[in-house]
Amino acid sequence: MIRTLLVANRGEIASRIFRTCRAMGIGTVAVYAEPDAGLPFVREADVAVALGGSSATDSYLVIDKILGAARRGGADAIHPGFGFLSENAAFAQAVIEAGITWVGPTPSNIAAMGTKVEAKQLAAAAGVPVLPSAVAEGDDPSAWLAAAVGVGFPVLVKASSGGGGRGMRIVESPDQLADAVVGARREALASFGDATVFLERYLAAPRHIEFQVFGDTLGNVIHLGERECSIQRRHQKIVEEAPSPVLTDAMRAVMGGAAVGLASAIGYVGAGTVEYLYDDTPDAPEYFFLEMNTRLQVEHPVTECLTGTDLVRWQIDVANGLALPLTQDQVERRGHAIEIRLYAEDPANDFLPTFGPMHTYEVPEAAVGLRFENGVETGSNVTTFFDPMLAKVIAHAPTRTQAVRQLAQALRSMRIHGPVTNRDYLVGVLNDADFLAGAATTAFVETHRALLDSRLAVGDERAHLVAALLSGSLMRVAQDRRWSFAPIGWRNMGVHRQLVELADADGGVHRCTYRWISPGEVTVTVDGHDHGVGVVRAEPVGSGHELVLSIDGVTRRVVTAMLADHTWCNSAAGQSTWALVPRFPETAGGVASGSPIAPVPGRVVALHVVEGQQVSAGDALVTMEAMKMEHKINAPADATVTEVRCAVGDQVDAHQVLVVLA
Amino acid sequence: MAVLPTRLDARSAEFRANAAAMQVLLDEVIAQQHQATIAGGERYIERHRERDKMLVRERLELLVDRDTPLLELHALAAWGTGDPVGAGNVNAVGIINGVECFVNGTDMTVKGGASNPSTVTKSLRGMEIALANRLPYISLTESAGADLPRQAEIFVPGGASFKQLTRMSAAGIPTISIVFGPSTAGGAYNPGMSDYVVMIKDRSKVFLGGPPLVKMAIDEDADEEELGGAEMHARVSGLADYLAVDELDALRIGRDIVGHLNWRKRGPGPTMPADAPVHDPAELLGAAPADVRKPIDVREIIARIVDGSRFEEFKGAYGTQLVTGWASLCGFPIGIIANNGILFSEESQKGSQFIQLCNRIDTPILFIQNITGFMVGTRYEQGGIIKDGAKLINAVSNSTVPHLTLMVGASYGAGNYGMSGKAYDPRFIFTWPNHRIAVMGPKQLAGVMNIITKGRDPEAVAALEAQVEAESTALFATGRMWDDGIIDPRDTRTVLGLALSAVHTNEVKGTSSFGVFRM
């Protein structure tokens, strides 16, 4: 029986597995790469073993390091979490050969589903509908084209190994195919060590519906129902829910049965997920096998909420050779559960990953039906080395509407002061009429681009701005109390007013003037609009204030937090960030205008220009890899390359100038 | 220390009448202050802005620390003199990078920043304040020089400003000149005499003689930039220590300079609790009668300006028409000498003793003036009222602790001197809008004239009474810079607190050396 479990993973999933271990009386061992040393999961384990290295390939992906850590940490079992080595059959095999209990499917299970081409063949053999596809073989683009024509455009180019959207490209027309194959191969090689990619028929707006399956070593296989994960960006899920708003009981039985059939066919052990594309546009809904993930999924809490189970406990019990605790008939599902994935990324900037210190990370107080899986805490540093998921928030309620409301409210209440996150975007999605109607497909993000620029309502945003303004004023006075006997900003001439400029998150500058009439009353002008502001309450809290402000007759409570020139405001309406515009502009720097800079820290993987070269607007200059995604840096305008300031293989910082254009 | 009681009833008809009358006077002051800010006129303000230049008060606001108090002085200088209200420049005590500084700035929209006699007087008073209180002195310079038709009134006294600049420098008080535009002839010596000079590229033009004068003098066709441009002074003559790219940059540099001064205040600073008065300072609006001949209990005013309304009265039962005692204001310990009627021998002696005590314990003195004069009459002359008045003037004149003077009503006759009037160099002197100042009350003066002229020329006497009445108002007084400004009575505590803080920038030191006290 397992006594001490090592989790070969990081962040919230490591924390989540440790929690079950503690409940089961099992010891815990964490492993961590250098940038993660300060994260909560490292502290939460009984024993933590440093892996060294900062990239995944130097740490969480190194089998020998993990096995060595298990020995040194005294672990007799390893749980791989998801991502990293979780679907690596060689790793599973190595663990078993080292005499350590492997908490996961058998190496042969993993291998069977590990390449998409083979997986599809197995699925087809098990009677599961599959999409037409072909492997992109050799180096001849014309052969790729022939294969693509056989599959039928539009096609999806995807890595044969791995998942999570990496190495995927949609190709609408034949002329884009060669580029897509080359790029996908490069990403696939970098991420999974296997450059094989294949082409598959692409459905424009299907739903993503997946079934949680579970098998034990005694040959029992059941499913725990579906999860719908249609809302995806960059082919990665961000909102997951169960039940699916569109699935009938009959379809659930058919698709669930097919999933169990496939799992049974390969003698599946442990937690797995059979993913389908579901197209409800034709008269009779169609579903196609997408892939099977031989691991616990990020979104497993949705199923746990609905079925009242602890799937990690099930995994451990199965690894200990126990039978599944439920038969298919005993599986009950209650209510509706929705999960969102909170990412450090900027939806308005093409979901580009963000990074930096997390000054404040506070979730609302525990409430029935609300579950937080946090990967960071106040003081954590969000790095660019790993997946930028910060946390998951799951709401479980009797109805879908209630779950949506509770989840949106929880998100709005979170205080997340640090890198830009997708929180506001997620709140926007949860409030979207199509989403509420259950009409979202995998095309949702693309077809609802207005949500990318989610903002607070005008009145709330103005209240936040005024709060940031007044909090800054109060803070400045508190920092030097020598003249605090005088009213703030006191003037004996009525014409003088304090002037402060604050920039919103989009960089829009708001010109604010104010004059404190008394500690309870301020006249404020924002962008030419006058506001009478009553300060009902102004208490110092943390690095800011708790302010109760009455603005134009509406009273709101706003909590501020300040760090250097930044102020975060939180209220029931949500969060906003404001930057104090320097009173005196910096003297202009020496960078030629228009010279492209690195959007994120990363590595230069390709240079497309040389010094002296003429480029046209839109020409690719540099390809960078960051967060395992490729970013093409294009020329902003017609120009001449006067200087190349990077080389292939260089690690570059965000905002570093890569190429000087003139 | 006892908390002063109050008998002021803010709901009484009398209070409301007083407050209403004070408000009328205050409204006029506010209207005049507004006038002072636009004294240059719409056309010139517009032209100034078109040149992408900030108004002087906008520059001032950017120079001082955000949310700190700013005390503008002599805002209504030149009122009633024929010169533009405000005198074409700005004086202020403000906080720059945490340092209390004195700022003088030219209002270029008023006659191109050319000096009139009031401008000179105002500048000189500002330098006096900076020197006495050791406030770093900052000039926001931009001037066409002297208003030439007025040169006779300006040329000779105006020279003192350059003397004062170098005396400040000699005393170790930093002088910083930020030149925003042309600064010609006399104006050129302002940067010339300053410790630090900031000039703005393409804007600052500093020369002893501009191109026309050079043409006249030596028949040279001089180029403005070559003759006195900022770049020339920064690179060639060395007059400019810092070259700014624009106005904002210049103000930033000015702030940076103050930041590096490593400035330390020499006074002990506040040492007492600075709790607000128990009695509402807002009631000061109705505390004083609009008619200065009506008596008030000055303790009602003290109770609304000192910390916690606490007042330790000294010699309370003796010479009761002069209230003396100890208090603190915004945490700064002070002695208070306040009129509660006219001065008799006892009051004069009491005041003299109290001033000596304040000097022994290095405590600044707040004089609250509401005085119609020393007592006259045979009995009092025989009682030595002149000797006793002389004692008070001796004590006031030789006292070295800082004096602050607040005028809350009448200031007539030698009482003005004995209570540290303008001529006795108070560090700061402020008036309320109801303030009246003259050698004696206009009615009294008319009566005296009537007796002297044996009633032969009632029209002339009436005309004189009307003239003195007009010349004794707060606006008339402040126009001649007999004070540092008219304040809203409700702001009294704040203004005095800022003044005390400024005063504590210099050493606060008393003396035991007085003139011979005539016994």
DSSP A558-598: EEEEEETTEEEEEETTEEEEEEEPPSSPPPP-SPPTT--B-
Place A589 in a pLDDT band, splitting at 50, 70 and 90: very low
Question: Predicted confidence band at A593 (pLDDT cuts at 50, 70, 90)?
Answer: very low
Q: Which residue does chain A place closest to B245, by CA atoms?
A: A587
Question: Which of left, alpha, beta for A139 (phi over 0: left; psi -120 to 50: alpha)?
Answer: alpha
* Contact list, A485 vs chain B (CB under 8 Å): 274, 330-331, 493-494, 497
Check CB contact of B107 with chain A, cutoff 8 Å.
no
Q: How close is the nearest chain A Cα to the Cα of B386, in Å? A: 40
Terminal C-alpha separation, chain B: 34
Chain B residues with CB-CB distance to A498 below 8 A: 61, 66-67
Taking a C-beta distance cutoff of 8 angstroms, is the pair A44, A18 a contact?
A: yes
What span, in angstroms and rounded, lies between the C-alpha atoms of A279 and B112? 78
Look at the block and give the residue holding tokens 């975007």. Answer: A425
The CA–CA distances, whole Å, from B92 to B20, B95, B127, B333 equal: 29, 10, 11, 24
**B459-512 per-position pLDDT tens digit:** 999 999 999 999 999 999 999 999 999 999 999 999 999 999 999 999 999 999
Find the closest chain B residue to A484 by CA distance.
Answer: B68
Among the residue ranges A184-198, A303-317, B481-495, the one predicted with the least confidence is A184-198
Instruction: Give the closest of A485, A490, A496 to B61, CB-based.
Output: A496
Question: Residues B18, B284: contact at Cβ < 8 Å?
Answer: no
Compare CB distances from A476 to B37, B67, B245 and report the shortest one's residue.
Answer: B67
Q: How far is A477 from chain B (nearest CA, A)?
A: 7
Three-state SS for B223?
A: coil
| Residue B66 near chain A (CB below 8 Å) | yes
Confidence category of residue A591, pLDDT binned at 50, 70, 90: very low
Tell me, yes or no, if A482 comes closer than 8 A to chain B by beta carbon: yes
B108 pLDDT higher than 70: yes
Cβ contacts of A587 on chain B, cutoff 8 Å: 245, 249
CB distance B72–A473 less than 8 Å?
no
Give Cβ neighbours of residue B274 (< 8 Å, ≥ 6 apart): A485, B307, B328, B330, B331, B497
Residue with tokens 């001032």: B60
Q: What SS3 state is found at A312?
A: helix
Q: What's the number of CA atoms in the CB half-sphere (13 Å) around residue B339? A: 28
Residue of B nearest to A471 (CA): B67
Check if B280 contacts A (Cβ < 8 Å).
no
* pLDDT at residue number A592: 46
- A414: helix, strand or coil: coil
**Nearest-CA residue of chain A relative to B256?**
A584
Amino acid, res. B135: L
Helix (H) or strand (E) holding B155: helix B151-158
- Interchain contact, A584 vs B274, CB within 8 Å: no
Nearest to A495 among B34, B62, B491 (CB): B34
Segment B242-263 shows an average pLDDT of 96
In the DSSP assignment, the letter for residue A202 is -
pLDDT digits (tens, 9 = 90+) for B433-460: 999 999 988 888 888 888 988 988 889 9
Contact A495 B70 (CB under 8 A): no
| B268 touches A at CB < 8 Å | no
Whether residue A392 contacts residue A340, with contact meaning beta carbons closer than 8 Å, is answered with yes
| A7 contact B CB<8A | no
Nearest residue to A388 via CA among A424, A350, A341, A340: A341
Does the pLDDT of residue B274 top 50, yes or no?
A: yes
Q: Does B385 touch chain A (CB under 8 A)?
A: no
The reply to whether residue B67 touches residue A489, judged by beta carbons under 8 angstroms, is yes
B304: exposed, middle or buried (C-beta count within 10 Å: 0-12, 13-18, 19+)?
buried
A496 contact residues in B (CB cutoff 8 A): 57, 61, 70, 72
Beta strands in A465-601 (DSSP E): 498-503, 509-518, 521-526, 529-541, 544-551, 554-563, 566-571, 574-580
- State the best of A474, A493, A513 to mutate against chain B, taking most chain B CBs within 10 Å: A493
CA distance B486 to chain A (A): 10
For residue A491, give how far its alpha carbon lies from the nearest alpha carbon of chain B (Å).
5
Please state, in angstroms and as integers, the Cα–Cα distance from residue B20 to each residue in B12, B25, B275, B409, following that order. Answer: 12, 9, 29, 16
Q: Count how many pairs of residues, chain A against chain B, have C-beta atoms within 8 Å.
A: 86
Q: Does the beta carbon of A528 lie under 8 angstroms from any beta carbon of chain B?
A: no
pLDDT surpasses 60 at A493: yes
Neighbours of B156 (CB within 10 A): 10
* Other beta carbons within 10 Å of A557: 15
DSSP one-letter code for B364: -
Chain B neighbors of A565, CB-CB under 8 A: none
Sequence-ordered list of residues with C-beta below 8 angstroms from that of A9, at least 6 positions apart, any chain? A17, A60, A79, A80, A81, A82, A83, A84, A86
Of B95, B248, B498, the CB nearest to A585: B248
By Cβ distance, the residue of B62, B66, B71 closest to A492 is B71
Q: Which pairs with CB-CB distance under 8 Å and at least 24 residues apart come from A368-371? A: A369/A395, A369/A396, A369/A397, A369/A403, A369/A406, A370/A394, A370/A395, A370/A396, A370/A406, A370/A407, A370/A410, A371/A301, A371/A305, A371/A395, A371/A396
A566 neighbors A614 (Cβ within 8 angstroms):
no
Distance from CA of B98 to the nearest CA of A (A): 8
* B164 interface with A at CB cutoff 8 Å: no
**pLDDT (mean) for A305-321:** 97
Residues near B481 by beta carbon (within 8 Å), at least 6 away in sequence: B74, B77, B118, B121, B122, B125
Query: Any CB–CB contact under 8 A between A649 and chain B?
Result: no
Of A490, A498, A587, the CB nearest to B66: A498
> Are residues B330 and A499, on separate chains, in Cβ contact within 8 Å?
no
**What digits encode the pLDDT tens for the residues A429-454?**
999 999 999 999 999 999 999 999 87
Closest alpha carbon to B60 in B74, B72, B78, B48: B72
Chain B contact for A490 (CB, 8 A cutoff) = yes
* Cβ atoms A244, A175 nearer than 8 A: no
A547-564 confidence digits (pLDDT tens): 999 998 999 999 999 998
The CA distance from B68 to the nearest CA of chain A, in Å, is 5
- CB contact under 8 Å between B72 and A492, yes or no, is yes
* Residues A487, B98: C-beta atoms closer than 8 Å: no
Per the CB < 8 A criterion, the answer to whether A344 and A390 are in contact is: yes
Distances in Å between the Cα of A160 and the Cα atoms of A134, A171, A607 are 11, 17, 27
Rounded Cα distance, A238 and A390, in Å? 12
For residue B427, what is the DSSP state? S
Q: Which residues of A touch B245 (CB under 8 A)?
A: 587
Q: Which of A167, A156, A112 is nearest to A133 (CA)?
A: A156
Q: Averaging pLDDT over each range in A111-120, A327-336, A580-589, which range is the top one?
A: A327-336
Q: Say what the pTM is.
A: 0.82
**Is some CB atom of chain A closer than 8 A to the CB atom of B75?**
yes
Q: Point out the residue among B61, B72, B330 whose CB comes nearest to the CB of A485.
A: B330
Determine how β-strand A529-541 pairs with β-strand B332-339. Answer: unpaired
User: A14-51: b or e for each residue (b if 16 or more CB lie within 10 Å)?
Assistant: bbbbbebbeeeebbbbbbbbebbeebbbbebbbbbbbb
User: Could you say which of A482, A491, A585 has the minimum Cβ distance to residue B70?
Assistant: A491
- Of the residues A474, A482, A485, the best mutation for testing chain B's interface (the one with the most B CB atoms within 10 Å of its CB) is A485
Is A517 in the B-facing interface, judged by CB distances under 8 Å? no
Please name the residue of chain A whose CA is at the shortest distance from the CA of residue B332: A485
* The pLDDT value given to residue A495: 66
Q: What is the largest CA-CA distance in chain B?
A: 78
Q: Please compute the mean of the pLDDT values over residues A172-186 and round it to a whole number.
A: 89
Using a CB–CB cutoff of 8 Å, tell me whether A160 touches chain B. no
d(C-alpha A113, C-alpha B387), whole Å: 114
Residue of chain B nearest A479, judged by CA positions: B98
Count of C-beta atoms within a 10 Å radius of residue A657: 17
| Mean pLDDT score, A316-327 | 97
Mean pLDDT (whole number) for B209-219: 87
pLDDT in tens, A118-156: 898 999 999 999 988 888 888 888 888 888 988 888 898
Beta carbons of B69 and A482 less than 8 Å apart: no
Note whether B75 contacts A493, CB cutoff 8 Å.
yes
d(CA B174, CA B187): 19
pLDDT grade for B180, boundaries at 50, 70 and 90:
very high
Task: Look at residue A205 in the predicted model and tell me its pLDDT.
Answer: 83
State residue B313 phi and psi, 5-degree precision.
Answer: -75, 140
Give the pLDDT score at A590: 37
Q: Do the Cβ atoms of B30 and A494 come within 8 Å?
A: yes
- Would you state the pLDDT for residue B290? 73
End-to-end CA gap in chain A: 68
CA distances B225 to B188, B198, B199, B300, Å, are: 15, 16, 13, 61
pLDDT of residue A163: 61
Alpha helices in A81-204 (DSSP H): 89-97, 107-114, 116-125, 141-151, 177-192
Mean pLDDT (chain B, rounded): 94
Burial (CB < 10 A; 0-12, 13-18, 19+), residue A560, is buried
Residues written for chain A: 662
Q: Residue B186: what pLDDT? A: 78
Determine the Cα–Cα distance for residues B127 and B138; give it in Å rounded to an integer: 10
Dihedrals phi, psi of B453, to nearest 5 degrees: -90, 10
Partners of A338 in the β-ladder: A241, A395
- Closest by Cβ to A485, choosing from B37, B251, B497: B497
